[in-house]
Structure 1
Amino acid sequence: MIKYIAYCRKSTDEKDKQVLSIEAQIAELKEFAKRDNLFITEFITEAKTAKVPGREQFAEVLKKIEKGMANAILSWHPDRLARNSIDGGKIIYLLDTGKLLDLKFPSFWFESTPQGKFMLSIAFGQSKYYVDNLSENVKRGNRQKLRNGVWPSKAPYGYMNNPKTRGIDVDDEKSKIVKKSFQLFADGSISFTGISQFMLKFGIKREGEKPVKVGQVKNMFSNRFYLGILKYAGEYYQGSHKTFISKKLFDEVQKQVEKIERPRQNGHNFAFAGLATCGECGAAITAEQHVKKYKNGTGQTFIYYRCTKKLKTCTQKYVSESELEPQIRKIVSDCGLYVEWEPYFEKWISEAEQKDKLTAEVEEKQIGGQIQETEIKLNRLLDGYLDQVIEPEIYKQKKNELFDEKLKLEEKKSQISKNGTVWLEPMREFGLSANLNFAFAALSAEGGAASAAPTDSSISFLVTRERIERSTFPLEAGCSIR
């Protein structure tokens, strides 16, 4: 007696809408078995792709055939049994050994003869060809999409897939949430977990109303897609989608990520450390940092300054940085330029401005030429790859190197145009407000006061001596400026 195992399968990633559902296959097989008087011992179903070996339920079918619990298989079509050469070979081998006596398909003719086995092997081969060809077509389509600057997969947070254009569009609502997440993290006032909770609060979440994982938040912050750059299968492409995160904000976030993830180092760079001494005992002033954590994942940092009390007994207590800063600013603001120096100072600023603009123009032109040269190299590299002169792996490696070089040059060019004369306005304000720390650094970088003065004078002569002497004025917290 021939005993059939009915096997039904539909892959979860199957794109073919013509393939029947498992329920429909069961109904068809029952009707077919009733019409042809076939004895079915059991139905075994599976929702898994047959592209690769390793299906548990299919292995169970073969195991029962091997043990003699059944000796025939009933299925909708040969492609339900196998879409790879290994599983197809196992079926044909069981037919050759006589352990598998028959195969029945409502949509395919088969009989256990040399001709029937040959036709079955062709059917298995066609099934494998369909999978391989489909995979290659998908890859080819993805490559073309990437060349056109279109992301071929699920859109990152803040974007959405457009089914009509098959492109990526900015999600007007969620993009604002993502941008705010970048801004909050760049400020250093919130953790990865806090960002996850923030996104959940405003509707960006995983399935089942779950918050986005911390790892996904990190990936979002490091994803250069937000800068218009696509990286797919280890290869860079220039994206055509709109961006809503600036390069400056993205870089600030990277610094914050690096700050959090790098190994902690001893010591801190406090703003006023080494600048003040205790007004009561003359000992050095030290600073301490305290972080207060909140239940929502956020935190707040507080910095306090206090006397080290290493010289003698001192009654002074700590003072917060927010209280100390205005006192120091007041002392510094009392410093200013001699009125007689203002024309020379303005002359020096104007000359420096012209010099910086000229330098920036020359540098921008040079970098523009380097960018153009890099683009030419990229085009030559692509030509060599298309002519099959260059191996795929070498092409990918060299393309990434050139693309990365191009990005660095573009960023450098952008920084030159932004920062070429960024220091000039604060320097002009120095004549009125005397922001000494910044001004001295700027003057020193340009050769000091001698570059503007009619005589060889030092920077210290730019400031009225009687006002410098006021730097010993005791602070309200018991401190004095050194």
Structure 2
Amino acid sequence: MKAIILARVSTEEQKEAGNSLPAQLLRLQKYCREKKLSVFKEFNFDESAWKTKREEFKRILDILQNSKEITALCCDKIDRLIRNFTMDLALLEELRRAGKIELHFPSDNIILHKDSPATDLFRFTIGVSLAKYYSDSVSDNVKRANENKIKNGEWIGKAPVGYINYEDEKGNKAIMIDPRRSPYVKQMFEMYATGDYSLRQIEGTMDRAGLKSNTASPKPLSISMLYHTLKNPFYYGMMKIKNELYQHKYPSLIAKNLFDKAQEIMNGWHKKPFKYAAKPFIFRGLIKCADCGCTITPETSKGHIYYSCTNYHRTHKKRVYVKEADLLKPIYELLDSINLPDKKVKELVQDLKQATKSENRFFTNTLQELRKEYDKIENRKSKLQDDKYDGSITNDFYDKKFKEYTEKQAKLMTEISKHDKANNQYYITANTILNLAKRAREIFENSEVPEQRQFLNYLLQNCQLKDKNLIYKLKTPYDTVLSASKCSNLLPGSDSNRRPTR
């Protein structure tokens, strides 16, 4: 059988560690010799699996599509191939089902072909999911680092005009006032605050004075750049990040009262911000009309909650209302359907453990402690339920403690799923997912409306209302759990649109 070797790295650490391109190529070449695969193409490239444009990968897909023979695509691990369920995965799955390709992952001990069993497909899907969790955890680490910088008053990114970026004697990045441009920026605020100068007049003044941007290729400030400069609170000591103000540690260029005066001139009058206090509805903002695409909005009438299309495009002749209780019926049916029997959960988890036995050298004490704490809370929840049935505690106390334990477990689950070795230990997260699916209805019923809405948003996607029926698609990996519960040999996305049973 012909074979294509694919090796890829996306970070500097991977280049230097055992996942370097040469190391991957050596392992894959040895694997192909042992399996008597004839390698006719080798690809190795350095780019992120999360980018939308990957020219090298597109070349591989073109070769696979146009090949007249069955071709094996060999990658060291699942996450070296792809990290999320995109059109690329759908195309690979289509070629696999047609018998045109096989997918080989030596380090993961997985070979996928057109007759692969449900267990292998499940392992592959979980592997992709956990690779995405790994990518998300890296992103979270960057976010946390940025959050710490913000708390310390450090600006993330390029300094605004009037300031310059530099490195101090210790090599730390810092910002200082630009002695050449800062006087002109201050003059801009002073001129505008008088109310006697327009942006265009200030633009002309600054252009004649020779003020230019602090970019790599300095250019005169346009009216748009002037506008954003005059709206930037950085100059009086605050930095604006995602519409939130934080105090920075750098010297101020102007006084706040000068900035406020400029804003008063720009706005023309003072406006008070209006905030809409949204009422707690389970499906608020989650459902679209299947006919016109408008949002399905909730309202209350005589103690009941109803949902209807806004009919903004005037597609419907009359407004049709659906009770929230009717929309919840298929949700409860779904939560019951993804509840796998204990025997099947144990079998799947055991298969995953056996398949990844050689990958568990990196299992850390931190993760063990998290699992231990999670199981301890699970035991408390079990005892809590027994106490409720025995009548030793009230229902209110049970609901309060159950919610508290569930929230703690949710936080622990977040820590587990974001563990930096998650991609080598995906059977653990698979176990958690399966057990979470098993308790899905219990969690949903014992949560407050905001948590229920968040839970549905986590579980479902593409929710639509069609003829009073709720249509939805399960998110990964719960579509795989649903397939496993029915012993279906399907990957997510093949046919996971479901409708309520009548």
Whether TM-score is above 0.5 comes out as no
Task: Tell which structure's C-alpha radius of gyration is larger.
Answer: 1
Greater relative contact order, per chain length (Cα 8 Å cut-off, separation 6+): 2
